Amino acid sequence: MAATHAFPERAKSLGITSEKSLLKFLSSLPGIDQIGVEERAGYLATRSIKNESKRWAIDLALSMVDLTTLEGSDTDGKIRALCNKGLHPDPFDKTLGRVGAICVYNDKVKIARNHLDQIGGSDLPIAAVSTAFPAGRASMAVKIQDTRDAISDGASEIDMVIDRGAFLSGSYQDVFDEIVTIKSQCGDDVHLKVILETGELVSYDNVRKASYLACLAGADFIKTSTGKISPAATAPVVLIMLEAVRDFMNLSGIQIGVKPAGGIRNTKDAIKQLVLVNEIAGSQWLSPKYFRIGASALVNDLLMQRMKARDGYYASSNYVTLD
Amino acid sequence: MSDRIEVLKTNKLFINGAFVRSESGRSYRVNKANSKTFLANLALASRKDLREAVLAAKNGLIKWQSATAFNKSQILYRIAEIMEGRREQFVEEIIALEGLPKKSADLQVSQAIDLWIWYAGWTDKISVIAGGENPINGPFYNFTSPEPIGVVGAFAPDAPSLLGLVETLAPIIASGNSALLIASQRYPLSAVTMSEVFATSDVPAGVINILTGNQKELAPWLASHMEISGMDITSLDKKSEIEIRKAATSNLKRIGNFDTKVSPERILAFMDYKTIWHPIGI
């Protein structure tokens, strides 16, 4: 007996109503010219950014950061400190807005939510990494419960990992089903970010395939990495994902966000990402609604570069908070 | 005519234990003493090179501050050992650039090597000389100990090119500071060769960083950089000094302008005093 699979509206509108049509769609995706994509990403990284644009880019990048701590050693105190920083990245400059979201492990969602509500940050979303992050090696029941916990504790964004083992062995339908199931737990109000963990996907072709798979199955965002393995958000990978969401928008009319995470540590890296977004996907992606950067140390460097732009001399890390 | 192709050396900056070209791609030329004959091309460092060097020094500081005084002493002594092996090169470069007779060039190198050994001796004694237990009226022990202040920027004097460099640099790092040295623009070769010595004498990466280039161009960026805690401006002229002192107020940098060439005072100039109160009987 053939298993029944659920296909969301966006997949159906593209004629994908069965495993067969899903496989057909994925195999029809054009291959990627490895040399070409690396050259293009490298070329875009050399673009010079003038001072005025740089100032604008720094503030935009700050508003896009998913301020993250995902350590086994996270304490409640550290989570509260992170929330404070997310709400007021520069405590001496109240004109500077908040970051995009706070990203924590599942069991820390409640403490983060409560603290943010107390300090006037009730509109600052909390993203929770769920579905047995980072490996994703758990039963479906556990993954569903994990997601439910996070949502009931106050998470408004769920970062799920895909089953890379299933993906690499060609069981695309299984990966698809998993995303559909988790999205059904999220509903319309909670944003679902699907982590592809591109460092484990072996080839650029697979990155493209996984991006479309996630888009079709109901992702609101596609995210490069867990940050637990290297390489993470490399420029060619982000470029391919941006192409995927751009083309998916043309196909279906649905705009999906992109979140590079891992390895973006300084302002230069962040601005390179913004250049990619503008050049590949287009300026309608240049907003925290459609582009996020998963990072922790990045914020301090952005703040220091902001001070440099303001004061005219190089800043010191003694004047920003420790992470 | 020799049938062998000459192997020419590219003189580079020394940042974070690595030899790099200036990010600006700029270079400048120095001539042999009292002539217009080409001697060498040198990297002309930019403010961005300086920024990288400060970052390297900041990271190097962590390792160097936590090294024991005995270990610092061994490494300073090691610098002298390695210099001894490169004596001929130092002498030749001093003759070619400064135009000194062989005998005085030789003497300068010997003095420079001996000075490292002298400062090697100071690393574990400076806290004993300058710190101690203070007599106080109350049930407390009260200790004072000098500690390195952080990243120190310095300008090497033109001449004597090697000895002057060691006189500037050795006291800065002897206490545990990390250093960013801007070499003499006129006589830079000793600084380049010295950086090759540092790279091979167990000095942790980033503890010593050396830039060649225009001291006047880099000085304002160094003076205003918030990550720099102290500066040795002994070799700069009076006019630059005022500008530097103004720019250095941003984070209250310690400015050193020394009359004595060699003295433990030069070590203490870049140290802070920390005083600790400890209750007796608890």
Looking at the domain assignment, is residue B5 inside a domain? no
Establish if A280 touches chain B: CB-CB under 8 angstroms: no
Beta A157-161 vs B27-31: how paired, if at all?
unpaired
For residue A322, name the pLDDT band (cuts at 50, 70, 90): confident
3-class SS of residue B273: strand
pLDDT beyond 70 at A2: no
Average pLDDT over residues A223-240: 94
- Looking at residue A3, its pLDDT comes to 62
Return phi, psi of residue B207, to 5°. -70, -40
Structure tokens belonging to residue A296: 């922790």
Domain of B175 in residue numbering reads as: 13-29+38-279
pLDDT tens for the 282 residues of chain B, in order: 678 998 999 999 999 999 999 999 999 999 999 999 999 999 999 999 999 999 999 999 999 999 999 999 999 999 999 999 999 999 999 999 999 999 999 999 999 999 999 999 999 999 999 999 999 999 999 999 999 999 999 999 998 999 999 999 999 999 999 999 999 999 999 999 999 999 999 999 999 999 999 999 999 999 999 999 999 999 999 888 999 999 999 889 999 999 999 999 999 999 999 999 999 886
Closest-CA distance of chain A to residue B127, Å: 26
CA separation for the pair A103, B274 (Å, rounded): 40
| Residue B8 forms part of a structural domain | no
The sheet with strand B271-279 has its strands ordered as: B132-133, B140-148, B271-279
Partner-chain contact A313 B250, CB within 8 Å: yes
Smallest CA–CA distance, residue A312 to chain B, in Å, is: 9
Domain assignment present for A10: no
Does residue A108 carry a catalytic annotation?
no
Q: What is the pLDDT of residues B120-154, one digit of tens each?
A: 999 999 999 999 999 999 999 999 999 999 999 99
Interface contacts (A, B; CB < 8 Å): 27
For residue range A40-94, what is the model confidence (pLDDT) as tens digits?
999 999 988 898 899 999 999 999 999 999 999 999 999 999 999 999 999 888 8
A284 close to A246: Cβ distance less than 8 angstroms: no
Count the domains in chain A: 1
The H or E element that residue B277 is part of is strand B271-279
pLDDT of residue A51: 87
Q: Inspect the interface and report whether the beta carbons of B224 and A314 lie closer than 8 Å.
A: yes
The question of whether A143 is a catalytic residue gets the answer no
Domain containing A181: what range? Answer: 17-314
CATH number of the structural domain spanning residue A223? 3.20.20.70
Helix (H) or strand (E) holding B228: strand B228-232
Question: Considering the domain boundaries, does residue A6 fall inside one?
Answer: no
Answer whether residue A198 is part of any domain: yes
Nearest CA to B275 among B65, B131, B177? B131
Answer yes or no: is A11 within a domain.
no
Which of A265, A314, A319 to mutate to test binding with chain B, by most B CBs within 10 Å of its CB?
A314
The answer on pLDDT for A1 being more than 50 is: no
Residue A131 maps to a domain: yes
pLDDT digits (tens, 9 = 90+) for A282-297: 999 999 999 999 999 9
Q: Is the peptide bond before B139 cis (omega within 30 degrees of 0)?
A: no
Dump pLDDT digits (tens) for A90-129: 988 888 999 999 999 999 999 999 999 999 999 999 999 9
**Candidate list A85, A110, A183, A259, residue with the active-site label:** A259
Instruction: Please check whether residue B20 touches A, CB under 8 A.
Output: no
Inside any domain, residue A8:
no
HEC profile of chain A: CCCCCCCCHHHHCCCCCCHHHHHHHHHCCCCCCHHHHHHHHHHHHCCCCCHHHHHHHHHHHHHHEEEECCCCCCCHHHHHHHHHHHHCCCCCCCCCCCCCEEEEEHHHHHHHHHHHHHCCCCCCCEEEEECCCCCCCCCHHHHHHHHHHHHHHCCCEEEEECCHHHHHCCCHHHHHHHHHHHHHHHCCCCEEEEECCHHHCCCHHHHHHHHHHHHHHCCCEEECCCCCCCCCCCHHHHHHHHHHHHHHHHHHCCCCEEECECCCCCHHHHHHHHHHHHHHHCHHHCCCCCECEEECHHHHHHHHHHHHHHHCCCCCHHHCCCC
Taking CA–CA distances from B50, the nearest residue in chain A reads: A314
Domain count, chain B: 1
Reported as a single tens digit per residue, the pLDDT across B149-183 is 999 999 999 989 999 999 999 999 999 999 999 99
Between CA B222 and CA A219 the distance in angstroms is 49
Report yes or no on B7 lying in a domain. no
- The answer to whether residue B253 is domain-embedded is yes
Average pLDDT, chain B: 95
Asked if the model's pLDDT at residue A174 lies above 90, the reply is yes
Residues 236-265 of B with CB under 8 A from A: 247, 250-251
pLDDT of residue B282: 65
Across the interface, whether the CB atoms of A318 and B227 are under 8 A apart is answered yes
Q: What percentage of chain B reaches a pLDDT higher than 70?
A: 99
**Smallest CA–CA separation between B225 and chain A, in Å?**
5
**pLDDT at residue number B264:** 95
Average pLDDT, chain A: 94
Is A188 part of any domain?
Answer: yes
The CATH number for B268's domain is: 3.40.605.10
Chain B contact for A270, CB < 8 A?
A: no
Asked if the structure places residue B6 within a domain, the reply is no
